[in-house]
């Protein structure tokens, strides 16, 4: 791998970036050419600074190429273009070979849901205290346990199962992503599990993750969700949760549970209002500005 570094004026940055992409750059990024100097220009509106600007007047463009020959050829071609007349080639820099898989893996550690319930990447040994665990490779799909919304949903499952095992008799994971919530329900004894998502790739990933964890479930597109469930889990975002309110509530059996995540604390009132015609939502958990909402459907 080699980096081609180019200096150019702000007015030409977009054109140069597009040209580099056309020349098969693997990635293109833009930095402040005066970074770490007295002339460094902040863009993000720090206190006491001028309003944010659209870019740096003196910009450094860094393009990644698979080989030195590709980087050199791109540099030669860019220099011939009228839009680069005032630009400068700052050099071609070789990158040290790295084991990117190992580097990525090193960023992820086992995630504690409860003291006995953990999410453990496949390359890690489970913690000694882990009684139940989900094996999952972070980064494959949304829902890896590293986000507060996922952790709160799994905590709810882990805490509910010993108290009301009947709540997990039939479970729907709506917007399943990686399938982690459905798998979590299976680990805690759910008898029948449906996991649905609008993304066919998410359905495929859910099936793979369930198989790897020894959990039986039915995964498919949203129209596969049929009838009523003892618990409906939906970890999406506030706006789609509002739109889906009638549908999600219709899938909860009388006396059943509705668990919603992907909601910021400031969005609680609007979600409660959206669901008020059918159920009364309350905050069941909080973490890092996110909330978990829960409701019992009237019997």
Q: Is 288 part of any known ligand binding site?
A: no
Closest CA to 91 of 127, 63, 119: 63
Torsion angle defined by CA atoms of residues 277, 282, 288 and 290, in that order, rounded to the nearest 10 degrees: -10
C-alpha–C-alpha distance, residues 221 and 198, integer Å: 6
Q: Is 256 part of any known ligand binding site?
A: no
C-alpha–C-alpha distance, residues 296 and 299, integer Å: 8
Q: Are strands 58-65 and 27-32 parallel, antiparallel or unpaired?
A: antiparallel
Q: Is 235 part of any known ligand binding site?
A: yes
Q: Is 55 part of any known ligand binding site?
A: no
Binding-site residue numbers are 150, 175, 197, 235
Residue list, annotated binding site for S-adenosyl-L-methionine? 150, 175, 197, 235
């Amino acid at each position: 791998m080699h980096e081609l570094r180019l200096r150019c004026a702000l007015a030409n940055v977009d054109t140069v970036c597009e040209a580099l992409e056309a020349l098969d750059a693997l990635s293109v990024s833009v930095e402040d050419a005066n970074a770490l100097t007295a002339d460094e220009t902040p863009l993000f509106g720090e206190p006491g600074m001028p309003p944010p600007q659209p870019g740096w007047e003196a910009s450094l463009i860094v393009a990644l190429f698979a080989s030195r020959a590709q980087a050199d050829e791109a540099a030669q071609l860019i220099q011939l273009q009228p839009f680069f007349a005032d630009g400068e080639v700052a050099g071609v820099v070789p990158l040290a070979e790295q084991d990117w898989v190992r580097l990525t893996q090193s960023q992820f550690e086992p995630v504690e849901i409860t003291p006995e319930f953990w999410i453990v990447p496949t390359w890690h040994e489970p913690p000694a205290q882990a009684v139940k665990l989900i094996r999952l490779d972070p980064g494959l799909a949304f829902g890896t346990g590293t986000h507060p919304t996922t952790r709160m949903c799994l905590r709810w499952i882990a805490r509910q199962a010993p108290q009301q095992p009947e709540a997990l008799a039939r479970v729907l994971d709506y917007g399943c992503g990686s399938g982690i919530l459905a798998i979590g329900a299976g680990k805690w004894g759910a008898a029948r599990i449906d996991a649905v998502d609008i993304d066919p790739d998410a359905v495929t990933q859910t099936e793979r993750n369930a198989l790897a964890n020894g959990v039986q479930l039915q995964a498919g597109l949203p129209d596969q969700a049929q009838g009523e469930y003892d618990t409906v889990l939906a970890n999406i975002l506030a706006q789609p949760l509002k739109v889906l309110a009638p549908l999600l509530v219709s899938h909860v059996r009388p006396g059943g549970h509705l668990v919603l995540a992907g909601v910021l604390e400031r969005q609680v009132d609007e979600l409660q209002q959206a669901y008020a015609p059918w159920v009364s939502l309350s905050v069941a958990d909080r973490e890092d500005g996110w909330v978990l909402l829960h409701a019992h459907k009237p019997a």
